[in-house]
Chain A
Amino acid sequence: MSHGIDESQSTSQTEFGRVKALLERMGETLEDGEVPMQILNDDAVHQLELERIFGQTWVYVGHESEVPEPGDYRQRTIGEDPFIFVRGEDGDFRVLFNSCRHRGANVCRAEKGNTSHFRCPYHGWTYKNTGDLVGVPQKAAGFDHLDAEERGLHEAPHVEEYNGLVFACVAPEVEPLEEFLGGATWFLDMYFDLIDMEVIGDPHRWEVENDWKTPTENFYGDNYHIPMGHKSAIDAGVGSDTATGEKESNLYGIADCDGHGFSFYQIESEEDSYWGHPPEVVETFNHDALDDDQHEVARKSGVTLGTIFPNLSFIFLGGRDDPEKDSVGTFLLRKWEPRGAGKMEVVNWILAPKDASDEYKERVYEVGMSNFSPSGNFEVDDVGIWYGIDEAAGSVFARQNDDVNTLFTMGRGENPAATVYDEWVGPGTAYLEGGMTDENQLDFYRTWHEAMTSDGGM
């Protein structure tokens, strides 16, 4: 029925026009530090961000320690698309599209494993773990015309690794990873070059009824929510030693850092902090990997957190899971995966210094899990304070009223507590009293908006 097709085309055109107008309006509201709330739950916005953000930019797929041996693989998604993160028999990382070149079935059905080949269950086409097509049943009888070299599994055209973190980009053209990371490398070096990190076990995965942008904006540096949102955990004496008040700290919010955002709790003391790692663990670090300025920031770090655009966040904290036990340094890496408008899957990895003792790594895991995971004493209240954002954002009211915006104007008054810290030694602009500014969080929406309004050459 051609009528139906015309109708759906015109609907999608109207939708596109609506989103275009919404993004235009957002261009203006951003200057005033406001963001239209409806972008947090809107099907058309969601579709467009899959294409213009997840289809265009570098996206994290996994850590090298998750696939240590040739043939090791993990299923991962880029946006909502299915990929296999695999270390080929040649030792190289690849990010293969999990879909048979014949009729599209998944060639890999397990979440993880080790294999020399992926064999499609439908007709039996077989691919090496490098993606090469090496087996087609009855090829001579039916597929003598087929050039196997042209029919290997599709793969992300760009796969690069930075200090063990593997990223992929599915667009034909993209800047080199290091250029994309920009100033973020200064921070990443502090974790992944100073320390040889490894992922412990398998990541937590859970489904949350909130848009992926809600935790992302939070991890760009919403330090304002901590006393209220996490009061139950802080009162219980768990979490970071800076949050419980066990240790005094200065908080720096880093804005203007090539589209990424960071926060630092610095413990100004002669005593080494290194995120709560004890001296015998600190001894195993690669202290020469950092310049003196970076090293001093690392030494004084109580908690550091941040987000690499679009959806990779981390929190590195010195803290505990029980007030009766000693603090350890635990590192959590999380990916906020879009799963339809207003919904996400959280993937959460816990990392520990590779050269630490097994007992210590176990404690790192316990403290990480206990604070940040589906059952985390901090994390559950994060999700608990976001209830209803999806509902309000998806409402007719939000669409009909231009002033249903979320607010990022903290620190824009006459006498803001947050001030630019001129002696900052790293990239970007540092705000002292960094919990009192929204500039770092606005960077997320500025970067998001820029990506959403450029057609990426399409």
Chain B
Amino acid sequence: MSESVSNPTLRAECEEFLYHAAELLDDRKLTEWHDLVTEDIDYRVPIRTTRERSNTTEFSDTSFHMKEDWGTLEVRTERMQSDFAWSEDPPSRTRRHVSNVRIVDDDGEEVTLKNNLLIFRQQGDETDPDILSMERHDTLRRTDEGFKIAERRVLLDHTIIPTNTLSIIL
């Protein structure tokens, strides 16, 4: 680990980036969000199962809720903005709460970090929100246009997804 790990300026920069990316998703600016991922992005949301405590991991390495590259994220973000994407019309009202940002490493080119994400989601006249809770392990790459997401691993706090559809980006 390099010295910058405990660098509050770096953490603030990363936080600012994560807040901005979250705002784009909450505001349904999906194409602009897609511009924030690198062309070689590896984006995964592994399936979690309830295991005995003695097990080393609860996350699958072969099965996923999402396993995306640049192209499939483009398909998804374009589709979600179609006039015929019924699961998002009327659209979900989402609020992403990003917190607990922890810098893991910085090699000068890429910063790896962990952060927590709580998504509030409501649709239509629902009064009970769907709450999705997760930890994200992100790799942010420094580019000419600023940070971009090169890798994201979303570790859900759910085995059974408690919302009708994952027609939102995590």
Residues of A within 8 A of B (CB): 109-113, 200-209, 228-229, 231-233, 235-238, 321-325, 345, 350, 365-366, 369-370, 373-375, 377, 379-381, 383-385, 387
Contact = CB atoms under 8 A, between A and B. Distances in A.
Interface stretch (B3-11, B21-29, B71-79): B71-79
A387 B123 CA distance: 10
Nearest to A323: B75
A345 B119 CA distance: 21
A229 B86 CA distance: 7
A375 B166 contact: yes
Given A110-B52, A232-B79, A373 B86 contact: no
Interface of B: 45, 47, 49-52, 55, 60-67, 69, 71-72, 75-76, 78-80, 82, 84-89, 124, 159-167
A236 B163 contact: no
Contacts of B50: 109-111
Contacts of B166: 206, 373-375, 380
A202 B60 CA distance: 7
A365 B62 contact: yes
A206 B55 CA distance: 23
Given A110-B52, A205-B161, A207-B164, 12 more contacts: A111-B49, A113-B52, A235-B82, A238-B79, A322-B71, A322-B72, A324-B71, A365-B67, A377-B75, A377-B79, A381-B87, A387-B164
B136 to A, nearest CB: 16
B76 A377 contact: yes
Given A238-B75, A369-B67, A205 B159 contact: yes
A383 B79 contact: no
A385 B160 contact: no
A206 B161 contact: yes
A245 to B, nearest CB: 16
Contacts of B45: 375
A142 to B, nearest CB: 29
B153 to A, nearest CB: 15
